[in-house]
């Protein structure tokens, strides 16, 4: 099947599937495909003044399958437009899937760098992987390089895991990091370099597990930020340790100092980037304002996905700005542009005391919530915000003052098993919570990004009531405000052109 025919066929299937969607849990302001399955964000880039986000996509089914590259674009990181599917598998270089990768601007040519996937024994999940490129001058229609793959096989000392290229330019040289694994099952990131994106030279190992950080490091991203170098990775196979590593797979970071010439990365310990149920495979872009912007997949492998019964599965997080603080911790906060989503403002109270609970009714299902607890003038052991959609349904965000932990409890909003997630958060004079609620997700940002919790939730009701609670004492609330948010997809116009020019 030709690439043109593959893309056209996928577009037709997607259009038909989109007509059958159950909208109950469809995101109002998050990136999701028109229908069917998505996972990792790919190819995030600002190109010709527009932000582009690609994503792993199966346009024929709500379950994972042969990976295509879906595509959206935006001028403001908030209002997204669906574009034609950018890549379809089936060529010799990518017979069984166009897996994750990245995008670069090569002198005005938008270039996608991606992994080609080949099964050698599908039943036993045996495969080979290689690296490929595709080009576009208009940012919409892509041609695969006729001499793909540009890297045909992994280094001799590695396992068959060899994927998710992240490419950037430093000086006059292109660099690529790849997720990889050793033959004895230790995850690692390896580096290549090139002068032209076509001929690549292997440079060796950038970082690797000591045996405690999983058997494979997926989706690497490497960049300089606030004077340090940051390696984002998504390790597979880390064992649970108390409140850490509770998901099937994790996403986190290593921070340190890097020498390009020696390919020497001296770094500290691994830290999880988000402690919620559904955050994986994060990728970043550097925009023209100098911001390092991150987006992750807002789901998790082998988790319950009720929306499959509705004809779709998978969404991406809000765009978030990354920074390194003075202690060497990576902070993550929503981009400033999220304020464009705000509609009606509800001022729910200022400078009041909660002795037991304080409740208000809100009928909106798309919300931004801001709560400031004055902990210096509170003696409660725990303070919490609870979202109710009906009598039996609730999502709880709680801060434990005694144990200095931020807790998200979704066990009564779609996650009856393993419903609680916890993030460490040192007690400060003020606890600031900024919370984004969509129809099937919640994103919690505490104390300007010192802790984040991202989870999919599946409330049964349409509206919400909210309740502040103090346990074991009183809580002083400095501010409680929320905003109803726009549904950006209600008025979005899909881009339906499927030709290749």
Catalogue the active-site residues: 40
Q: Which of 28, 79, 87, 85 is nearest to 51 (CA)?
A: 79
Residue 48: which of 112, 109, 92 has the closest Cα? 109
In the numeric block, which tokens belong to residue 475?
Answer: 């809580």
Alpha helices in 120-183 (DSSP H): none
Closest by CA to 101, choosing from 113, 111, 86, is: 113
CB 362 within 8 A of CB 379: no
In the chain, helix, strand, coil percent, each to 5? Answer: 5, 55, 40
Q: How many helices (H) and strands (E) does the chain have?
A: 1, 34
C-alpha 499/C-alpha 203 separation (Å) is 39
Helix/strand/coil (H/E/C) assignment for every residue in 109-168: EEEEEEEEEEEEECCCCEEEEEEEEEEECCCCCCEECCCCCCECCCCCCEEEEEEEEEEE
Give the whole-angstrom CA distance, residue 165 versus residue 155: 14
């Amino acid at each position: 099947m030709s690439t043109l025919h593959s893309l056209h066929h996928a577009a037709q299937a997607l259009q038909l599937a989109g007509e059958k969607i159950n909208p109950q849990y469809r995101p109002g302001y998050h990136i999701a495909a028109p229908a069917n399955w998505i996972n990792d964000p790919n190819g995030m880039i600002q190109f010709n003044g527009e932000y582009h986000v690609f994503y792993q996509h199966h346009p024929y089914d709500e379950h994972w399958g042969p990976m295509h590259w879906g595509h959206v674009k935006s001028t403001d990181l908030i209002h997204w437009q669906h574009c034609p599917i950018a890549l379809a598998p089936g060529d010799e270089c990518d017979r069984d899937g166009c897996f994750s990768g990245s995008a670069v601007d090569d002198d005005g040519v938008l270039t996608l760098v991606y992994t080609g996937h080949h099964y050698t024994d599908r039943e036993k999940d045996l495969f080979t992987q290689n690296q490929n490129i595709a080009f576009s001058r208009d940012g919409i229609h892509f041609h695969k390089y006729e001499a793909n793959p540009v890297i045909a096989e992994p280094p001799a000392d590695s396992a068959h895991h060899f994927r998710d290229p992240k490419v950037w330019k430093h000086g006059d040289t292109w660099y690529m990091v790849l997720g990889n694994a050793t033959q004895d099952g230790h995850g690692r990131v390896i580096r290549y370099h090139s002068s032209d994106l076509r001929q690549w030279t292997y440079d060796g190992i950038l970082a690797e597990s000591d045996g405690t950080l999983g058997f494979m490091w997926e989706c690497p991203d490497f960049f300089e930020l606030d004077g340090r170098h940051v390696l984002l990775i998504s390790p597979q196979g880390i064992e649970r340790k108390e409140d850490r590593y509770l998901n099937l797979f994790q996403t986190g970071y290593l921070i340190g100092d890097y020498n390009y010439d020696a390919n020497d990365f001296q770094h500290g310990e691994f830290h999880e980037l988000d402690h919620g149920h559904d955050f994986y495979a994060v990728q970043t872009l550097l925009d023209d304002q100098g911001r390092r912007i991150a987006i992750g997949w807002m789901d998790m492998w082998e988790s319950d996905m009720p929306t499959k019964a509705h004809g779709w599965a998978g969404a991406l997080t809000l765009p978030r700005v990354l920074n390194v603080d003075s202690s060497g911790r990576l902070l993550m906060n929503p981009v400033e542009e999220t304020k464009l989503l705000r509609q009606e403002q509800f001022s729910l109270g200022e400078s009041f005391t909660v002795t037991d609970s304080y409740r208000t009714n809100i009928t909106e299902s798309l919300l931004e919530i801001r709560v400031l607890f004055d902990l210096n003038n509170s003696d409660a052991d725990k303070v919490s915000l609870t979202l109710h959609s009906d009598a039996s349904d609730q999502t709880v965000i709680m801060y434990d003052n005694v144990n200095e932990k931020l807790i998200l409890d979704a066990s009564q909003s779609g996650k009856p098993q393993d419903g609680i997630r916890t993030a460490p958060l040192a007690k400060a004079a003020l606890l600031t919570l900024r919370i984004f609620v969509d129809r099937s997700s919640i994103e919690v940002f505490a104390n300007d990004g010192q802790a984040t919790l991202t989870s999919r939730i599946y409330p049964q009701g349409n509206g919400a009531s909210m309740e502040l609670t103090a346990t074991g004492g009183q809580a002083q609330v400095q501010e409680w405000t929320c905003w109803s948010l726009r549904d950006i997809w209600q008025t979005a116009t899909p881009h339906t052109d499927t030709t290749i020019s």
